[in-house]
Chain A
């Protein structure tokens, strides 16, 4: 079963605009990760945020985590055509096995 669920399922924006994707999950977590997947390729790790953190930045990426609402958001600022990809959140559980469950993904298309 899916732990995380991304919203929206698909997003289309113009180059230079900001893109926001949301992830909701069901059970308590130790940390949450965001990954990017370009078409036909493996996943690339973007950022990890721990359950005691509320916000994290990496370049043009900003991730927030609200454990009370069991949700996270990924903001990509000043998007580029190269940001076109699918974005997934992955959550572990507090069971200690470091098992991650991936969400259904948001397919982002950035138009030049």
Chain B
């Protein structure tokens, strides 16, 4: 079974630039999550999709972050414009309902 795929693995940008991350969940997983993990902390949920609908985006900084899930499968997370404090690992996860989450390897973002 293929796992959750994410790209790119690493990204370095300057503040005020834009960046986009891509996630391909495990086939058949209806629920998709984006997390932000700052160094030394636990993952913080940014947005949760059920199929292509948003279930929870209460902690997504909507003035600069946006996310979409195309046809209920792949998802992209965008930051525009980036700030220094956005430096973190961005993790994508997917799951069947009421079950364990499968995580991708993450994208490490450095904002200079």
Interface set of A (CB-CB < 8 Å, partner B): 2, 4, 33, 35, 40-45, 48, 88, 90, 97-105
**Is B22's CB within 8 Å of the partner chain A?**
no
Roughly how many angstroms separate A48 CA and B93 CA in the complex, as a whole number?
16
Q: A42-B106, A98-B98 are in contact. Are A88 and B42 (CB under 8 A)?
A: yes
Is A44 within 8 A of B103, CB to CB?
Answer: yes
Across the interface, A45 reaches (CB within 8 A) one of B31, B41, B44, B102, namely B102
Q: Are B43 and A98 in contact (CB under 8 A)?
A: no
Contact B48 A105 (CB under 8 A): no
The 11 sampled A-B contact pairs (Cβ below 8 Å) are: A41-B106, A42-B105, A45-B100, A88-B42, A97-B55, A98-B31, A99-B48, A99-B56, A100-B45, A104-B41, A105-B41
* Nearest CB of A to B38, in Å: 11
Which residue of B56, B105, B106 is within 8 Å of A97 (Cβ)? B56
A residues in contact with B104, CB < 8 Å = 42
| Alpha-carbon distance between A4 and B43 when the two chains are bound, in angstroms | 11
Q: How far is the CA of A42 from the CA of B106 in the complex (A)?
A: 6
Contact B42 A103 (CB under 8 A): yes
Q: Please, which residues of chain A bring their CB within 8 A of the CB of B63?
A: none
Contact B103 A42 (CB under 8 A): yes
B101 at the interface (CB under 8 A from A): yes
